[in-house]
Amino acid sequence: MTKVRCPKCGSLMVLRTAKRGPNAGGKFYGCSRYPNCKATIPFESMTPDLEKIPGKEKWSLIETFFPRTLIDRERFQNYQVRFFETVAVSEDFMEGIASEYIEEEILKAFSQWRIDFPVKESKFTLNERQYQIISVLEKILTRGRITLPSPQLEKEFKETFLKTSKIESSLLFIESLVFKGYQKSQKYLWLDSKEESIFYEDILSKFLGENYKQFVLPQVELSSLLPPNSDVDTTGYQRVDFAIFHPRLEEKIIVEIDGEQHKGHTESDKERDRTLQEYGYTVIRIQANEIQKRSGRQLSVLRSKLSPMEEKFNEKTASPHIEIIKFIHSFKLAHQIQIVLLQVIQSGFLNLGDTGSWRIIADLDELDLFDKKEALLILKKSVADFVELLGKLIKLYSVKLRIREPSCSLFSNYNAGKSANAIYISFSDKFTSDLPTFHVQNIYFPFRIANSSFPAAPVIEGLKKPEEKNLEYFLQYLFRKPCFWEGQYDGITRVLQGKDALLLQAKL
């Protein structure tokens, strides 16, 4: 059965029957969050024959329901990039999100981010069973766009950061997190020309303020901007120079910097502009000499379109809420750290066989949010929690690895030295290091981002009988249930061992 999502808030829609009005007795799709969201879609418009739907409505439906594979240039040469749409929050905060109407675009901006990391030959390789463990670990960590951390990590962060017992308004704090962003230092990106660098590093920062980078994507592939079944030929090297997206900006803006290299491609550029405009983008072409002078007609057009956003970018977090902002940020950062560690293992930068030899360095204290003590606590607790989850999985899979506590430190306190098992997770871009560096940056893309999962062969042979205590860890981690009901442990054990199982629930 096809899942239909609300065009207004992105929630699942439910097939309903009209009880009154001119369509009484007829079917329609209504938002599952009614009465908080009252959006509807006529049942007839969901016909699989999209050719019957007018152009704009057809584009809107495809845009709403199909995640995109985001392909964007890596930030630095000899790097690669991976995009995610997942964030962890506390259980109270999750309940707040579920009970309030929070715009779909705000949720996208809250949960989307990227990792840029080096392209290097893997130092450490995984065997087949280790591949399977890491694949399961990834599925647990990325099991939803808005997901929960481990109960233990939630308890520890609540004790550290939160004095009040419950978060009152999810919407207020999500918007504050989205618009404030992380405090990032200037770090020059890999762009195609001097004019592009001036535009990105100098002009845009003046137009939008210090937190602009989350909302500007340089060098996005054309295929990522168009619906998956569009008739446009996107083969070959086709990128737009800059895509400027913001949840509070009605227009999706594409900026092209026209230098000498564009003179021989006038017609193809016009055709591409027409295609982008057809799918709802505003295309602004700026001549290179305008960029060099830092003024001109097209720059003025762009600034006028972005001016409503400048105030939002530069909003300061209200001091009475700083403890809650820290609390929410701690889970988001912990989740990002754990997924970075997953990527580090997948890419062969850390030895999975001995976690005690790991040296994890990060710069959380440079985000203009946490002091050194708080930053180091977040790093240590996040890494320890990841290692505990890994340890429970290898026990389930009967794999022998040395699971020990890794070494964690802030970059500002890091004593440089050669280590084959050290990595640096950079959130602030403030420091340059010889260590393999994994750069984390929040982004906003106005579409759902398709997830690319880590490939692994399925477990063909049944597993050994797991301890009930070990399975209860996953029950509590994933479902927040303290223990199994009668018969559940035996049934799950049979499934894990590759045997048939049938569980019946008594009707109370």
pLDDT at residue number 325: 86
pLDDT at residue number 462: 67
Lowest mean pLDDT among 29-43, 89-103, 199-213, 331-345: 29-43
Rounded mean pLDDT of the chain?
84
DSSP structure class, residue 449: B
Binning pLDDT at 50, 70 and 90, where does residue 331 land?
very high
Higher per-residue pLDDT: 82 or 2: 82
pLDDT score of 366 more than 90:
yes
Highest mean pLDDT pick, 183-187, 418-422, 483-487: 483-487
Average pLDDT of the segment spanning 345-368: 93
pLDDT at residue number 51: 46
Which has the closest alpha carbon to 143: 100, 85, 182? 85
Average pLDDT of the segment spanning 30-52: 64
pLDDT score of 484 more than 80:
yes
Binning pLDDT at 50, 70 and 90, where does residue 160 land?
very high
Domains of the chain from N-terminus onward: 13-65 (no CATH), 79-181+318-442 (no CATH), 194-313 (3.40.960), 470-508 (no CATH)
pLDDT at residue number 50: 42
Binning pLDDT at 50, 70 and 90, where does residue 489 land?
very high
Q: Is the pTM of this model over 0.75?
A: yes
Following CA atoms 60, 63, 65, 68 in sequence, which dihedral angle do they give, to the nearest 10 degrees?
180
Using DSSP's 3-state secondary structure scheme, residue 139 falls into: helix
pLDDT score of 62 more than 60:
no
Highest mean pLDDT pick, 93-107, 433-447, 482-496: 433-447
Which has the closest alpha carbon to 448: 138, 64, 33? 64
Higher per-residue pLDDT: 109 or 42: 109
Average pLDDT of the segment spanning 364-380: 95
Q: What is the pLDDT of residues 186-228, one digit of tens each?
A: 677 888 899 999 999 999 988 887 788 999 999 999 999 998 7
d(CA 464, CA 356): 26
Segment (H or E) for 422: strand 422-426
pLDDT score of 330 more than 90:
yes
Contact 277/283 with Cβ under 8 angstroms? yes
Q: Mapped to the 3 state alphabet, what secondary structure does 196-236 carry?
A: HHHHHHHHHHHHHCCCHHHHEEEEEEHHHHCCCCCCCCCCC
Contact 424/358 with Cβ under 8 angstroms? no
Using DSSP's 3-state secondary structure scheme, residue 437 falls into: strand
Q: Mapped to the 3 state alphabet, what secondary structure does 52-103 carry?
A: HCCHHHHHHHHHHHCCECCCECCCCCCEEEEEEECEECCHHHHHHHHHCCCC
Average pLDDT of the segment spanning 472-481: 95
pLDDT at residue number 10: 61
Binning pLDDT at 50, 70 and 90, where does residue 48 land?
very low
Average pLDDT of the segment spanning 478-500: 89
Lowest mean pLDDT among 89-98, 309-318, 363-372: 309-318
